[in-house]
Chain A
Amino acid sequence: MFKWLAGKKSTEGSKPHSLMIDELKEQIKSQLNVGEDLTFRTLKRDGDKLVFSYMSSLIDTTALDEFIITPIQENTHTKWTCEAIAQILPIANLSAQNQLDKVVEGINVGKVYIYIEGQPYGILGDVSKTVERGVEKAETESLVYGPKIAFTESLIGNMNILRHNIKDINLCMEDLTVGTRTKTKAKLVYIKDIADEENVNVFREKISQLEIDYVAGTTVLGQLIENNSWTVFPQLVTTELPDRVTIALMHGKVVVLMDRSPDVLYGPSPFFSFFESTEDVYMRWNMGLALRFLRLLAAFLSVLLTPAYVAVLTFHYEVIPSPLLVSLGQSRANVPFPPMFEALLLEFFIELLREAGARLPTKVGQTMGIVGGIVIGQAAVNAGFTSNILIIIIALSALGSFTTPSYIMGTAIRMIRFPIILLAGFWGGIGIMIAFCFFIIHLLKLDTLGGSYLSPVYPLRWKDLGYSFFRVPTQYLSKRPLTNHPIDAQRFSVQKAKKKDVDE
């Protein structure tokens, strides 16, 4: 029955606890220094002593009362041996222990240790409760269409959501632990016959070889396992939307879930996957195509617009077309600063606004945003502090950088604008080109775990362009993206999807 009872003795380094209850209590108290939290409840019957040890902050007291103490008290005829007790307890998660450190560990995670004096083993029963929030709408990513639930901090809840999304038996969830002190549970999720073996191995090795005391969340885990930590560009996507993770899993990516963290990490994710949003999938393909182009164009412009303004006004006055010349010149004539300084000042101002708006409580934040944005901008123009054309340009580029669905990528784009403005202010158009070439080389050097960063543009994979760069009608998407080297590449039968002839 209880095979582990007949099992071997424990490994070295741990010793069984004392068989006397009082000594046991002292041993546990010396290991766990938690004061009043550690509670002992003793039951006596016919000379047998039975002690429950638990931490009252971690357990669900109703469960303890109803499912542990009540059955033991009511079943008066059963002898108090551990097998008998284990039979009558209506708890799903039971295990037998006699090693002190394992007992202490169990109490630490919210289990109750039931020990009958003199017995060789005691029972650890799981009556823990975790304080967590219910399933809510996503905060950092917002959608118009699609399921609105977001992942929460509970690993079990997240696994539940994922498993209900993909009812495939090939969905593998492997256990991992991160953090030598915090011992946070993590799960490596992938679909066995779609995801590439090598990718899964890379992830598994990297996470299990981490020797760090504490990992604060999935984003930190992502930073620790990435290949290049010096760059501003993120190499793994973090998201809190289950449908996005589902789509990623079906494409052959590897997903990492971590307990106590509502974000989920997946990879390998090339550069263009940061510009994909689930809305492109839910809307019709033409609108998805237009939206994706709009996003890429907006990101590109937001990086180049302000530096172009600075370069043209500082060095290349010949380029300005004549209708624009007068208004540009007039608006610049009011400003005492050189264009580079003015642009940097305004960009700094916008960043201040954004940062302050993120830190303030919601009620104050909205007013500050409106006040800061409109009023101070207008006042600055009237005071002759800055030109109104520059305000429009900066507003456009700020809007452009917010269109990226991934917040981290949006911040990265904002950050790289500053050195480009500096270069444009020193070397004009040539400076912008130098920065452009630098970023091309830099992006080519990066790699996301398991693939190059700029795929599918380089290395060129035609069929994948239909997934990442633009959206094509679904009948052309019969194969999964090659970037992830999937094992089972066919999604649906191409023959049946072919169009028939007229009147056939």
Chain B
Amino acid sequence: MPNHPKWQMLVMLFSCVIFISGCVERKQLEKLGLSTAVGYDLEKENHIRGTVVVHKFDPLAKNMTRIITSVANTSNTLRQKQNLETDQELVSGQLRCVIYSKELAERGIIQLADALNRDPTIGNTVYLTVTDTKASSIIKMEKENLKVDLGTYLYNLIKQNVENEQLLSPTLHEFNHAYDDHGKDPVLPILKLKKGNVILSGMALFQDDRAVAELKGDKLFYLKILSDKFKSGTHEIGFKRSRFKRIIRNEQGHRFRTVYNEFYINIDNIRSNTKIKLVDKKNLHFKVEIKLESRLLEATEILDLSTPANIKFIEKIVNKEMEKEIKNLLIFFQENRVDPVGFGNKYIANNRGKMLSKKEWRDKYKDATFEVHVNNTIIKTGVTD
């Protein structure tokens, strides 16, 4: 049997190999301190302060998290220095959320993001965020009745809002993608401390890797409509009461007391689809077409929605209002010379010849003109008419 000496030699060699090995480093789960959230502050010139939330597995305590902070020049040195203060090896494989302070963000965060890129143990779905105070103050916030550690809390906070379509997804991958694209700029959410709770309070617009502007409230909705599609969004628009007088329901003999002196409607279940077309290459004229399908559930006065004419009337007014707001937003972007929507990509896609560099696009961008069309269809009005 020709297999016999082969088999024996194989077995022998395998066993030799197994015994010699063990040169691979072990990372046993219970011996590790998992850093789930990291915050970076600019400490002084050329130094950053890193604060890390470490999740340890302790057989005696229920859920152990520790906050460690240190100062160094690079993020890996930070980790080394933080290691000196803990009894378990610090690893960042389960990193969930990274927080950058405002001044660091204004100076530029690409070197820290690049370190996250190169590290193979850190995943692509880490959330990057910015705060308007110091990052360490957010992380140091102690909360006794927090069921999970801060990293997981922040992760769930952002994830839940992304899924509810209030935020654009701020993962490391998206940041990389937007930063490396010649025709797009990244956006990251802003965290804030409010009465001992961490909340999301808007989004920061980046020019390459420096934060230059902030968006709050309503404008987030329009940003998301332009750059992404909605599956089930919500929006509230305010108007003067006079414009809606004809369709406010008037029962005979009753005059409804008005609660507000302005009129608001809220449309939800919004499904949107946006098409951006480069109409004129030389003059850089873009045409933005937005198609919405929405549901009207709430208005601050009772409306008479039984006739199609009324509904069309509402649609027309809402369309006009949205177009105005979006136009203002686009001008706001141009003034701050940021392009989070990605008009540059559209321009590059239609432009034969040499690829545009980032600087070239930024120069061209301020000359761009936009034309916005919103087409909103109110498909349902709820259970009553």
Binding site for B on A (CB under 8 A): 228, 230, 313-318, 320, 322, 325-326, 328-330, 332-335, 338-339, 384, 422-423, 426-428, 445
Query: Once bound together, how far apart are the Cα atoms of A180 and B45, in whole Å?
Result: 94
Known contacts A315-B24, A325-B94, A332 near B29 by CB under 8 Å: yes
Q: List A contacts of B96 (CB < 8 A).
A: 322
Query: Once bound together, how far apart are the Cα atoms of A326 and B26, in whole Å?
Result: 20
Known contacts A318-B93, A422-B18, A427 near B24 by CB under 8 Å: yes
Known contacts A230-B4, A333-B59, A426-B22, A317 near B27 by CB under 8 Å: yes
Are B24 and A317 in contact, CB atoms less than 8 angstroms apart? no
Are A322 and B58 in contact, CB atoms less than 8 angstroms apart? no
> Which of A316, A320, A333, A423 interacts with B30 by CB under 8 Å?
A333
Q: List B contacts of A328 (CB < 8 A).
A: 29
Q: List B contacts of A230 (CB < 8 A).
A: 3-4, 7
Are A318 and B123 in contact, CB atoms less than 8 angstroms apart? yes
Are B59 and A317 in contact, CB atoms less than 8 angstroms apart? no
Query: Once bound together, how far apart are the Cα atoms of A293 and B34, in whole Å?
Result: 39
17 CB-based A-B contacts, threshold 8 Å: A228-B3, A230-B7, A315-B26, A317-B29, A317-B34, A317-B91, A320-B29, A322-B94, A328-B29, A329-B29, A330-B57, A332-B29, A333-B57, A339-B28, A422-B18, A427-B21, A428-B24
Query: Once bound together, how far apart are the Cα atoms of A445 and B3, in whole Å?
Result: 10
B152 CB–A CB distance under 8 Å? yes
Query: Once bound together, how far apart are the Cα atoms of A386 and B123, in whole Å?
Result: 31
Are A423 and B32 in contact, CB atoms less than 8 angstroms apart? no
Q: How far is the CB of A270 from chain B (nearest CB, A)?
A: 19
B73 CB–A CB distance under 8 Å? no
Q: List A contacts of B76 (CB < 8 A).
A: none
**Among B28, B32, B91, B94: residue with most chain A CB under 10 A:** B28
Q: List A contacts of B27 (CB < 8 A).
A: 314-317
Per-residue CB proximity of B335-365 to A under 8 Å, as 1/0?
Answer: 0000000000000000000000000000000
Per-residue CB proximity of B19-45 to A under 8 Å, as 1/0?
Answer: 001101011111010100000000000
Q: List B contacts of A326 (CB < 8 A).
A: 63
> Which of B1, B18, B63 interacts with A426 by CB under 8 Å?
B18
Q: How far is the CB of B60 from chain A (nearest CB, A)?
A: 9
Q: List A contacts of B306 (CB < 8 A).
A: none
Q: List A contacts of B21 (CB < 8 A).
A: 426-427
Query: Once bound together, how far apart are the Cα atoms of A326 and B121, in whole Å?
Result: 19
> Which of B1, B26, B152, B155 interacts with A314 by CB under 8 Å?
B26
Binding site for A on B (CB under 8 A): 1, 3-4, 7, 18, 21-22, 24, 26-30, 32, 34, 57-59, 63, 91, 93-94, 96, 121, 123, 152, 155
Which residue in chain A gives the minimum CB-CB distance to B25?
A315
Query: Once bound together, how far apart are the Cα atoms of A332 and B18, in whole Å?
Result: 25
Q: How far is the CB of A312 from chain B (nearest CB, A)?
A: 8
Q: How far is the CB of B132 from chain A (nearest CB, A)?
A: 28
Are B152 and A322 in contact, CB atoms less than 8 angstroms apart? yes
Query: Once bound together, how far apart are the Cα atoms of A338 and B25, in whole Å?
Result: 13
Q: How far is the CB of A70 from chain B (nearest CB, A)?
A: 60
Q: List A contacts of B28 (CB < 8 A).
A: 313-314, 332, 338-339
Q: How far is the CB of B149 from chain A (nearest CB, A)?
A: 9
Are B94 and A318 in contact, CB atoms less than 8 angstroms apart? yes
Known contacts A230-B7, A317-B27, A318-B93, A329 near B57 by CB under 8 Å: yes
Question: Closest 4 A-B residue pairs measured CB to CB?
Answer: A318-B93, A329-B57, A333-B57, A332-B30
Q: How far is the CB of A173 from chain B (nearest CB, A)?
A: 31
Which residue in chain A gives the minimum CB-CB distance to B123?
A318
Could you list 12 further interchain pairs (A-B, Cβ under 8 angstroms) beyond the known A317-B27, A426-B24?
A230-B4, A316-B27, A318-B123, A325-B34, A329-B29, A329-B57, A330-B59, A332-B28, A334-B59, A338-B26, A423-B18, A426-B21
Which residue in chain B gives the minimum CB-CB distance to A320?
B29
Q: How far is the CB of B27 from chain A (nearest CB, A)?
A: 6
Query: Once bound together, how far apart are the Cα atoms of A445 and B63, in whole Å?
Result: 52
Q: How far is the CB of A238 from chain B (nearest CB, A)?
A: 23
**Among B57, B58, B155: residue with most chain A CB under 10 A:** B57
Q: How far is the CB of A86 from chain B (nearest CB, A)?
A: 53
Are B94 and A332 in contact, CB atoms less than 8 angstroms apart? no
Query: Once bound together, how far apart are the Cα atoms of A315 and B23, in whole Å?
Result: 13
Q: How far is the CB of A317 from chain B (nearest CB, A)?
A: 5
Query: Once bound together, how far apart are the Cα atoms of A384 and B59, in whole Å?
Result: 10
> Which of A313, A422, A427, A428 interacts with B29 by CB under 8 Å?
A313
Query: Once bound together, how far apart are the Cα atoms of A329 and B155, in whole Å?
Result: 20
Are B22 and A329 in contact, CB atoms less than 8 angstroms apart? no
Are A317 and B32 in contact, CB atoms less than 8 angstroms apart? yes
Query: Once bound together, how far apart are the Cα atoms of A330 and B27, in whole Å?
Result: 16
Are B58 and A333 in contact, CB atoms less than 8 angstroms apart? yes
Query: Once bound together, how far apart are the Cα atoms of A339 and B32, in whole Å?
Result: 14
**Among A228, A316, A322, A422: residue with most chain B CB under 10 A:** A322
Query: Once bound together, how far apart are the Cα atoms of A314 and B94, in whole Å?
Result: 15
Which residue in chain A gives the minimum CB-CB distance to B152?
A322
Q: List A contacts of B155 (CB < 8 A).
A: 322
Q: List A contacts of B121 (CB < 8 A).
A: 318
Q: How far is the CB of B39 from chain A (nearest CB, A)?
A: 20
Query: Once bound together, how far apart are the Cα atoms of A317 and B32, in whole Å?
Result: 9
Q: List A contacts of B63 (CB < 8 A).
A: 326
Query: Once bound together, how far apart are the Cα atoms of A315 and B24, in whole Å?
Result: 9
Q: List A contacts of B3 (CB < 8 A).
A: 228, 230, 445
Q: How far is the CB of A416 from chain B (nearest CB, A)?
A: 14
Q: List B contacts of A335 (CB < 8 A).
A: 30
Query: Once bound together, how far apart are the Cα atoms of A487 and B3, in whole Å?
Result: 33
Q: List B contacts of A317 (CB < 8 A).
A: 27, 29, 32, 34, 91, 93-94
Q: List B contacts of A338 (CB < 8 A).
A: 26, 28
Query: Once bound together, how far apart are the Cα atoms of A230 and B11, in whole Å?
Result: 12
Which residue in chain B gives the minimum CB-CB distance to A334?
B59
Q: List A contacts of B32 (CB < 8 A).
A: 317
Q: How far is the CB of B3 from chain A (nearest CB, A)?
A: 7
Q: List B contacts of A325 (CB < 8 A).
A: 34, 94
Q: How far is the CB of B15 from chain A (nearest CB, A)?
A: 10
Query: Once bound together, how far apart are the Cα atoms of A322 and B155, in whole Å?
Result: 11
Which residue in chain B gives the minimum CB-CB distance to A230?
B7
Q: List B contacts of A318 (CB < 8 A).
A: 93-94, 121, 123
Query: Once bound together, how far apart are the Cα atoms of A330 and B29, in whole Å?
Result: 10
Q: List B contacts of A228 (CB < 8 A).
A: 1, 3
Q: List A contacts of B59 (CB < 8 A).
A: 330, 333-334, 384
Q: List B contacts of A339 (CB < 8 A).
A: 28
Q: How far is the CB of B146 from chain A (nearest CB, A)?
A: 14
Q: How far is the CB of A426 from chain B (nearest CB, A)?
A: 5
Which residue in chain B gives the minimum CB-CB distance to A319?
B93
Which residue in chain A gives the minimum CB-CB distance to B94?
A318
Are A329 and B30 in contact, CB atoms less than 8 angstroms apart? yes
Q: How far is the CB of A340 from chain B (nearest CB, A)?
A: 9
Q: List B contacts of A445 (CB < 8 A).
A: 3
Which residue in chain A gives the minimum CB-CB distance to B95?
A318
Q: List B contacts of A313 (CB < 8 A).
A: 28-29
Query: Once bound together, how far apart are the Cα atoms of A338 and B29, in whole Å?
Result: 10
**Among B32, B63, B93: residue with most chain A CB under 10 A:** B93
Q: How far is the CB of A327 from chain B (nearest CB, A)?
A: 10
Which residue in chain B gives the minimum CB-CB distance to A229?
B1
Query: Once bound together, how far apart are the Cα atoms of A366 and B369, in whole Å?
Result: 84
Q: List B contacts of A329 (CB < 8 A).
A: 29-30, 57
Which residue in chain A gives the minimum CB-CB distance to B24?
A427
Query: Once bound together, how far apart are the Cα atoms of A330 and B4, in whole Å?
Result: 47
Query: Once bound together, how far apart are the Cα atoms of A317 and B27, in whole Å?
Result: 7
Q: List B contacts of A314 (CB < 8 A).
A: 26-28
Q: List B contacts of A316 (CB < 8 A).
A: 27
Which residue in chain B gives the minimum CB-CB distance to A339?
B28
Q: List B contacts of A330 (CB < 8 A).
A: 57, 59
Q: How far is the CB of A105 from chain B (nearest CB, A)?
A: 37
Query: Once bound together, how far apart are the Cα atoms of A316 and B91, in whole Å?
Result: 12
Q: How far is the CB of B22 from chain A (nearest CB, A)?
A: 6
Q: List B contacts of A315 (CB < 8 A).
A: 24, 26-27
